Structure 1
Amino acid sequence: MSHHLNAARRRTLLAVAALAAVQPWRSALAHGDDAPHSHAVTRADAGVLTVVGPWEMTGLDPSRSGYMFARMEVVETLLEVDDSGHLRAGLATTWRVSDDGLQWRFALRSGRRYHDGSALTPASVLACLQRAAQRPGVLQLAAIATMQLEGSDLVITLRQPFGPFPYLLTHYTTQILAPASFDAKGNVQAIIGSGPYRIRSLSLPQQFDVERVALIESGQGRPVQRARYISVSRAETRTLLVQSGQADLAFSLDPPSIRALQDHPRAALLSTMLPRTTILKLNAGHPFLADVRVRRAIALCIEREGIARALLRDPDLGATQLFPPALARWHDASLPPLQTDLKQARRLLEEAGWRLGTDGVRWREGQRLALNLTTFVDRPELPLIATALQEEMRQIGIAVRVVIGNSSDIPAGHRSGLLQMALAARNYGNLPEPVASLLQDFGPEGGDWGAMGWRNTEVPALLAQLAAAPADRDRSLRQRITAVLQEQLPVIPVVWYRQTCAVSRRLRGASIDPFERSYRISSLQWT
């Protein structure tokens, strides 16, 4: 275990060193853009909102980094969602579906322009969505037959009903870009959107600057006219930038950073529960894990509240079920919660034929109950949680070897069939109505971040039934799906997730989008 952790740390340190070598903005930020010898934020930068987070921009295509351009309010989608996950208007003002559930009609907003001054026309919207439908992305989840225009309405016809379809049009991969954004081959060459901010400069993969399209002055305060996003991989570095006054918003803070910033004179902390769960993905097709009694034993040995308290500094994040309270339509408060019971866990393993050996590990028919647990360092808490799970499973006689690699190792292991257990953070709010995501995770063949080798027909059938209905109906189906997942445990919930953001005290009006679609900088004002 220590070898793998040390190797992972070495890789991380080497990556940070390499990143620092090619990022001149580090020294610029440390000294101020216009005052090389000053350690304070310069006068020139005083009106530039600086946002730091761990995410790099890996390309211009919406499928690669579209979420960052959406968060900085450069691009827009046809529909938006509120904090409860309910649909609201975006570039489409209204939407409706035919009685047979096959035809969706969207009335498009008129009089809008892209940042290059060209008109935002129904034809340009149609072209963007047709392009998105031809590429890997959320539109592949619906069986789209045709897209066409009828006057200023966009009409999309499906081959079969798909109730959550409008939610697909909230996803960043369906963002609407100006025709000039694309080259002759349809590749994105520039980000020309229609949001409140336009791109001012862009330096992939670390930084881009935006400016407000229409300059606004208000007697109530000064709105943010210019903003900058900088990718800063290490949480402690983001914290230092906040403490020194060189970052105004800092996202994805770890517990040490949160402690360091509590009651800080330069920044306040905001937090909200997100629809994300850290899960233990199990290969239910593996001979050791096919027996549901073994999966239940593993679930019973996990001290969720202890992990949440010790590692996340928030005992309320112990996951008593798969879907967190932030996912209100799926969280079932009446569901019996997952609990910790080592005696019951050991009893279940005994019933499954696993006897404790002299080495403290269980054996059955000459085979040792030893499993690999794969995780990654993209989220710094995952290796720590993996270490805790390793110890907790040891206490019931399961030997666990933690393997720390890249996030891509988990889908690769799923597809090859070699994955045994994996620890990952699953975002169930990637689409505000997660039916489409759940169809990927718990469909007949399982999914990269969901079930593996799990033979169950009820959940895929219920999900298919739910997908054919309007998203706001059939609560009983959602409750039954949640109950079966709690009983069968193809994935085991460990902890929920809380987004904590540091906000400069120079700002007011800050709030956190629980679906992580926007940083809401257009709502901020300088004090």
Structure 2
Amino acid sequence: MRVHNGLRIIMLASAFSTPLAAQVPEQVTLCMPLEPPLLDPTRGPAQAIRELTYGNIFETLVAIDRDGRLQPGLAESWKVSADGLVYDFKLRSGASFHDGTPFTSFNVAYSVERAKRPESRNAQKWIFDPILRVDTPDPLSARIVLSRPTANFLYGLAWGDAVMVAKGSAAENATVPIGTGPYKFSRWVRGERVELVVNDRWWGAKPTFAKAIFRFISDPAVQVAAIKAGDCDALSNLAAPEAIPALKRDPRLAVTTGYTEGKTILAMNNGKAPFDDVRVRRAIAMAIDRQQVIEGAMSGLGIPIGSHFSPSHPAYVDLTATNAYDPEKAKAMLAEAGFPNGFSATLKLPPPAYARRSGEIIAAMLQQIGVKITIEPLEFPQWLERVFRGKDYDLTLIAHTEPLDINIYARPDYYFQYRSLAFNAALNDAETATSDEARNAAYGRAQKRLADDAVNVFLFLLPKVTVTKGSLTGMWTNWPLPANPLAELSWK
């Protein structure tokens, strides 16, 4: 018997209706929707890797704080030359890796060189492409020399893909990660949890918790039951937004609603027929009522977007009226493209609840214009291998959570398989601009090109709903990037 999601939540919550489990003074348990496929953020694009490791196990030269501002990380300060080509970093004295290896400028040079290798699996190689060389004048000084000015270079160095690693341990970081952060890897119980312990040699202030557990709960109803039962001290991103009113009424819990940088898209394989025809892509976009998707899949949470850009950025342009919902026009455009009776396609969906729920709604909408959709659910490792790396898909649905990541559309080998000289020119203008006004104008042109080309169907900005025990403080309300820094947590 099929049980409606809302009813399942009530039934499971009732089964866990005992008082919240007592807090453990020296331990914190965070529950998150997905298990990471590996634990090295330099070797995979999965958001879950960064949720667990960023600022906990691994650190970057420059960090991003909860408000999206750049802060000192393993570099306590830096200077940039007037021509924007030379970055001099002063590194922290006394920082070391969990195995006792001192952190020095040698590690900076090695981390960059490793990321730039042709065989590197780093998902954000654009960060390192402009780097001409890394000089190491002394152990606590690193000089990065660029081949061209790059406006967002420091910002890129703050991403999880740019964490610092050591030559002696980097090869094993996927399963036994060794970083410089406030927490050390302890063990990984596959399919259930990752356990961390405090790093007593960390350069920063000692964290509150001696032990931290990340539990993986993908089922939205089970998430709700677990937080109500006290099995989670915090739930980093609730996948059941319909449960928010009931959770807010629980005096033992605190619920906050913020934003992420997650641009949720229905991605189309631009390199594969019939999606290589812009008329087909525009028809697909016009068939989808994004507001109805937001209401049905996200209980109304989520900001509509019309291109691959966050509304929180000053360069954002509202392009939601481009290829606006118009199913009759969509049918006419399909007929013009040679598909008067529609066609069949497969929609491959990764496991997050927002993807599965949105995918069901979108499939029904596309059916209305004659596009017959077969839904194929995939586990995340399958999605990464077949869709992201193998480009073996027609349609898929995913949220890209990296900040300011419009540059992915300039990569000819990216899984969208989109190519546009006009877009590349606009992006280059943005990256080399010498003023914020010129940079934002160029970003605006780039956004408009993506919307006009209907590269993907741009749906909504993914919200972040955090649920915690009322006595826990320090969780990020917003996600300028996916992160759950444990050192910021404490009991009231």
Separation in structure 2 between the aligned mates of residue 410 and residue 199 of structure 1, nearest angstrom: 24
Cα distance in structure 2, aligned partners of 1:512 and 1:295 = 35
Q: Which residue of 2 aligns with 1:424?
A: 397
Aligned residues: 461
Q: Give the structure 2 partner of residue 148 of structure 1.
A: 135
1:155-174 equivalences in 2 (<5 Å): 155-174=143-162
Q: Is the 8 A contact 1:330 1:482 kept in 2?
A: no
Q: Which residue of 2 aligns with 1:490?
A: 455
Partner of residue 475 from structure 1, selected from 430, 440, 451: 440
Asked if 1:105 is matched to 2:72, the reply is no
Query: Which amino acid in 1 is paired with 2:262?
Result: R
Cα distance in 2 for partners of 1:320, 1:303 equals: 12
Return the alpha-carbon distance in structure 2 between the equivalents of residues 172 and 308 of structure 1: 29
- Using structure 1 for the length normalisation, give the TM-score: 0.76
User: Are the aligned partners of 1:58 and 1:204 in contact in 2 as well (CA < 8 Å)?
Assistant: no
Aligned to 2:423: 459
Question: How many angstroms apart in 2 are the aligned matches of 1:139 and 1:439?
Answer: 10
Tell me which amino acid in the other structure corresponds to 2:398: A
The gaps in structure 2 that reach 5 residues or longer are 3-14
Identity %: 21
Matches within 5 A, 1:272-351: 272-314=258-300, 316-326=302-312, 328-333=313-318, 336=321, 339-350=324-335
The answer (yes or no) to whether the contact 1:199–1:210 under 8 Å persists in 2 is: yes
1:476 deviates by 0.7
What SS does the aligned partner of 1:173 have? helix
For residue 395 of structure 1, the aligned residue among 359, 362, 368 is: 368
Secondary structure, aligned partner of 2:222: helix
CA contact (8 A) 1:267 1:502 kept: yes
Q: Which amino acid aligns with 2:466?
A: C
CA distance in 2, matches of 1:346, 1:378: 30
User: Which residue of structure 1 aligns with residue 409 of structure 2?
Assistant: 441
Give 1:71-150 correspondences, 5 Å limit: 71=54, 73-83=56-66, 85-115=68-98, 119-134=102-117, 135-137=120-122, 140-141=125-126, 142-150=129-137
- Say which of 220, 234, 239 aligns to 1:235: 220
Per the TM alignment, residue 379 of structure 1 is displaced from its structure 2 partner at its CA by: 1.1
Counterpart position of 2:235: 250
Check 1:289–1:456 CA distance in 2 against 1; reply closer, same or farther (3 A cut): same
CA contact 2:302–2:462 (8 Å) conserved in 1: no
Q: Which runs of 5+ in 1 are unaligned?
A: 6-29, 32-37, 355-361
Native 8 Å contact 1:375 1:410 kept in 2: no
Give, in angstroms, the shift of residue 100 of structure 1: 4.7
Q: CA deviation at 1:388?
A: 1.8
Residue of structure 1 equivalent to 2:21: 41
Structure 1 residue runs of 4 or more that deviate by more than 6 Å after TM superposition:
414-417
- Alpha-carbon spacing, 1:390–1:198, altered in 2? closer, same or farther (3 Å): closer
1:140-186 CA-partner distances (Å, limit 9, x unpaired):
3214332221233212233444332223321223323466645xxx5
The aligned amino acid for 2:443 is R
Q: Describe the SS at the equivalent of 2:249.
A: coil
- Hey, what does 1:261 align to over in structure 2? 247
TM-superposed CA distance for 1:116, in Å, is 5.1
1:485 Cα deviation from its structure 2 partner: 1.2
Amino acid at match of 2:430: L
Does 2:465 correspond to 1:508? no
Contact in 1 for aligned 2:282/2:323 (Cα 8 Å): no
Q: Which residue of 9, 33, 39 maps to 1:54? A: 33
Q: Distance in 2 between matches of 1:418 and 1:203?
A: 31
**In 2, are the aligned partners of 1:305 and 1:315 still within 8 Å (CA)?**
no
1:382 is displaced (CA, Å) by 2.0
Quote the offset at 1:469 in angstroms.
Answer: 4.1
Shift of 1:240: 1.8
Q: Distance in 1 between matches of 2:166 and 2:271?
A: 47
Deviates more, 1:110-119 or 1:370-379: 110-119
Name the counterpart of 1:521: 486
Counterpart Cα distance in 2 of 1:321 and 1:263:
36
SS at match of 1:496: strand
Q: Report if aligned partners of 2:33, 2:239 keep a CA contact under 8 Å in 1.
A: no
Cα 1:405–1:124 change in 2 (3 A) is closer
Aligned partner letter, 2:103:
L
1:524 Cα deviation from its structure 2 partner: 2.7
- 3-state secondary structure, aligned to 1:262: helix
Q: Give the conservation status (yes or no) of the 8 Å contact 2:474–2:488.
A: yes
1:525, distance to aligned residue in structure 2 (A): 2.5
Report the CA distance shift for 1:525/1:214 in structure 2 as closer, same or farther (over 3 A): farther
**1:66 Cα deviation (Å)?**
5.4
1:418-457, Cα deviation, whole Å (9 max, x unpaired): 633x122231x42x332xxx333344x2621x3x3x4532
Give me the whole-angstrom Cα distance separating, in 2, the residues matched to 1:404 and 1:201: 29
Match of 2:164, as an amino acid? I
Confirm whether residue 378 of structure 1 aligns to residue 345 of structure 2.
Answer: no
